[in-house]
Structure 1
Amino acid sequence: MKKLVVAAVAAAGAAGAAQVAQAQDVVKIAHAGATSGASAFYGKDNENGARMAIEALNAKGVTIGGKKVTFQLLAEDDAGDPKQATAVAQKFVDAKVSGVVGHQMSGTSIPASKIYHDAGIPQISPSATSAKYTAQGFRTAFRIVTNDEQIGRTLGKYTVQSMAGKKVAVIDDRTAYGQGIAAEYVKGVQQAGGTVVAKEFTNDKATDFAAILTRIRAQKPDVVFFGGMAGVAGPMLRQMKQLGVNAKFVGGDGICSDELSKLAQGAMADGQVVCAEAGGVEASGKAGLDKFKAAYQKRYGHEMQIYSPYAFDAVMTMVTAMQKAGSTAPAKYLPELAKISYKGITGTIAFDPKGDIKDGTLTLYTFKGGHRQLLAVTR
């Protein structure tokens, strides 16, 4: 691309033209996630997926509106903090990005979405699951995973119907994600005939759960549900073992990674933990996902976590909309994005009027030998 630009400038004899041509050729797509802090392994995984998509597009060569373009990934750390997320969002707006993949968490995606909406910039989250994110009425906000309503209620019903969890204790971390999924889990438990014997809360940076777990132990629950992330769930599992809380442990996608086993430091028994991941590739898409996993391992030297293929698909979906519109201008390709149907690694991506994924999947896992094992993919 640079050689072509230089040649054009030489022919025109104007250095200024080179700057204009190059600016027109570079399309900025942004990614935001928590790449520092307790959930950095998730945030970096998402960023890696987005970067793989950018690299694949540039290697292939893409033409939009009859013009060859080069994509550039602008990646920022929002640290999982709502205030930092809004600062990052404004930075992206000022940089005139064409689209945003992110944010990683619900608590950061929700405040950032107002800034993107006001600027008219499309935002696709590969992992934010709070129903509030797409309930705000922002036409720029999309997600390619199922939301907490489905995850929480499915886990609640599964707890009662398949885990004999008649008595359940619920803990959340007070984040938008944690509270949202816990509330839906309670509904699922109650709909299936189970009883919630305790409701407690902590925060997303806590390490001491002795008081909470002592109160819960007195209720003798069959299952403890935690709405939050693995960085808190790991130490919680250790303290459950220390305090003799002999219960199964259930959570959403925030704990659904092999990282949980490392953080629990041997306190997690085989089959004790059940978690659900928003999304999931059915049998027909297994070959494509396996190919992505191998490419990820080769590119980064370690296995993917959960949502990197969704971040990859988010970039590809966005660029497909640009190609259909013949433009990288947000206002021009946004209508195409809203009605897109793109077959990605994770399945067919199409959005409902709110921006939620249509007919999304959900995957249930347990852990054995410190590693996730698939239980089922459901809708």
Structure 2
Amino acid sequence: MDSSKKNTTERTTARLACAALIGAMSLGTAGAAYADDVRIGAASPLTGPQAHYGTDFTNGVILAVEDFNATKPVIGGKPVHIVLDAQDDQADPRTATAVAQKLVDSGIKGMLGHFNSGTSIPASRIYAQAGIPQVSMATAPEYTQQGFKTTFRMMTSDIQQGAVDGRFVVSDLKLKRIAIIDDRTAYGQGLADQFEKAAKAAGGTIVDREFTNDKAVDFRAILTKIKASAPQAIFYGGADAQAAPLSKQMHSLGIKATLVGGEMVKTPTFLKIAGEAGEGTVASLAGLPLADMPGGGAYVAKYKKRFGMDVETYSPYSYDGAMALFTAMKNADSTEPSKYLPFLAKIKMAGVTTPDLQYDAHGDLKNGGITMYQVKNGEWTVLKSLGGK
């Protein structure tokens, strides 16, 4: 078996194992094994090109559920048992709203997800109308700017990340002529918009701005147009499934510009697909490097033992988001959403990713840092960390 087939088989096996576990956990509710079961929803893309994101996200939630249940929590004077109902929203907004309604109708007491901004935003209205707290991986500013009291984040927003990216490229990397491409998703376009504002404010010049979609694989027409403007950097707002072939096509067209992206580019999957063409790519990720996170070392070991694979990108954040929800229930001494929601809003706790997890009035993280990375010799290496300690 060649390496590409082996990697595909390993990813498929991991996703099937995750799906099997989720099915088993969901089935536990049907039997009502515990009179005090507390159903919690989760949603992410578990199939399709973003399934590696969803698997990583869901694994973090699973670990949090297992760790919390292992403490034998007593809430409201009786033992409680968290039962996870994890759903596949396929990174599709329409599917996400159907999933959200299904979860609400099933009686969930809290929601972890969705993973994407484009799914979290439309689904958030359904959870808000039901009064159900939602802790999402969404980074688009709009997610917490809708006026809902039920929306909270697991990661820093694109306002924070895009601003850091734009300043870093111009001020630190000294790349002033910049082209921008985004995939028109809520995440990709939002991040690109914030990047553009910050880059201009730092003295950069946007020589071209183009857009594609989150299913595209051929960027040669866009890149040929961009090449004529002689950019020093190309910022891509989107996911690794598009960024990797984009980097290869930049290389084949002789474009020497540095490719820059956000956290959905800074993944092991990008490295596997892009290969040598990805060398020199710069990307940002919310928070500190995994090795520098307060609970990073212990989390890596626990994750590896539990799932038989390495931490990819998102699971430490989904773990902390889930633990914030469960801690709020404990602090409120209630699993009823209306009673523990105020405690979630004023949460203050140490997590894997940060020693001080808190939310502001909008549900955004107060102390989120950003780390810049670059591909060197086929590995993501740290360039600079800003805040988060």
Residue of structure 2 equivalent to 1:223:
233
- Superposition pairs for residues 221-300 of structure 1, below 5 Å? 221-269=231-279, 272-280=280-288, 286=293, 288-300=295-307
C-alpha distance in structure 2 between counterparts of 1:207 and 1:177, whole Å = 18
The match for 1:57 among 62, 68, 81 is 68
Q: Is the 8 A contact 1:129 1:278 kept in 2?
A: no
Q: Is the 8 A contact 2:163 2:195 kept in 1?
A: yes
Q: Is the 8 A contact 2:288 2:371 kept in 1?
A: yes
1:134 aligns with 2:141: no
C-alpha distance in structure 2 between counterparts of 1:278 and 1:82, whole Å = 24
Does the residue aligned with 1:249 lie in a helix, a strand or coil?
strand
1:357 aligns with 2:357: no
Structure 2 CA distance for partners of 1:201 and 1:23, relative to 1, 3 Å: same
C-alpha distance in structure 2 between counterparts of 1:150 and 1:58, whole Å = 34
Residue of structure 2 equivalent to 1:26:
37
Larger Rg: 1
Which ranges in structure 1 are unaligned for 5 or more consecutive residues?
Answer: 1-18
1:376 aligns with 2:377: no
Per-residue CA distance 1:212-235 (angstroms, 9 max, x = gap): 000011111000000000001011
Measure how far apart 1:286 and its partner are.
3.5
Deviates more, 1:73-82 or 1:51-60: 51-60
C-alpha distance in structure 2 between counterparts of 1:91 and 1:23, whole Å = 22
- Superposition pairs for residues 13-92 of structure 1, below 5 Å? 24-92=35-103
Residue of structure 1 equivalent to 2:166:
156
C-alpha distance in structure 1 between counterparts of 2:367 and 2:159, whole Å = 13
Structure 2 CA distance for partners of 1:287 and 1:138, relative to 1, 3 Å: closer
Structure 2 CA distance for partners of 1:265 and 1:334, relative to 1, 3 Å: same
Deviates more, 1:142-151 or 1:208-217: 142-151
Structure 2 CA distance for partners of 1:242 and 1:281, relative to 1, 3 Å: closer
1:336 aligns with 2:343: yes
The match for 2:201 among 160, 185, 191 is 191
Per-residue CA distance 1:121-180 (angstroms, 9 max, x = gap): 00001x211000000011000003211011111111111111121100000000011111
Measure how far apart 1:265 and its partner are.
3.4
1:116 aligns with 2:116: no
Using the aligned pairs only, state the percent identity. 46
C-alpha distance in structure 2 between counterparts of 1:376 and 1:28, whole Å = 40
C-alpha distance in structure 1 between counterparts of 2:113 and 2:381, whole Å = 27
Measure how far apart 1:23 and its partner are.
5.5
Residue of structure 2 equivalent to 1:326:
333
Structure 2 CA distance for partners of 1:197 and 1:303, relative to 1, 3 Å: same
Does the residue aligned with 1:220 lie in a helix, a strand or coil?
coil
Deviates more, 1:24-33 or 1:244-253: 24-33
For 2:305, give the aligned amino acid: K
* TM-score between both structures, scaled by the size of structure 1: 0.91
For 1:374, give the aligned amino acid: V
For 1:275, give the aligned amino acid: A
Residue of structure 1 equivalent to 2:111:
100
Measure how far apart 1:350 and its partner are.
1.1
C-alpha distance in structure 2 between counterparts of 1:327 and 1:337, whole Å = 12
Does the residue aligned with 1:344 lie in a helix, a strand or coil?
coil
Measure how far apart 1:266 and its partner are.
2.9
The match for 2:319 among 312, 333, 337 is 312
For 1:73, give the aligned amino acid: L
Q: Is the 8 A contact 2:43 2:115 kept in 1?
A: yes
Residue of structure 2 equivalent to 1:146:
156
C-alpha distance in structure 2 between counterparts of 1:353 and 1:59, whole Å = 32
Q: Is the 8 A contact 2:374 2:381 kept in 1?
A: yes
Q: Is the 8 A contact 1:122 1:334 kept in 2?
A: yes
C-alpha distance in structure 2 between counterparts of 1:287 and 1:331, whole Å = 31
C-alpha distance in structure 1 between counterparts of 2:71 and 2:375, whole Å = 39
Per-residue CA distance 1:68-112 (angstroms, 9 max, x = gap): 111111111111110011011111101111111111111111001
Per-residue CA distance 1:251-298 (angstroms, 9 max, x = gap): 1111011211112133222xx111111222698x64521110111111
Does the residue aligned with 1:376 lie in a helix, a strand or coil?
strand
Per-residue CA distance 1:353-376 (angstroms, 9 max, x = gap): 111111211111111232211222
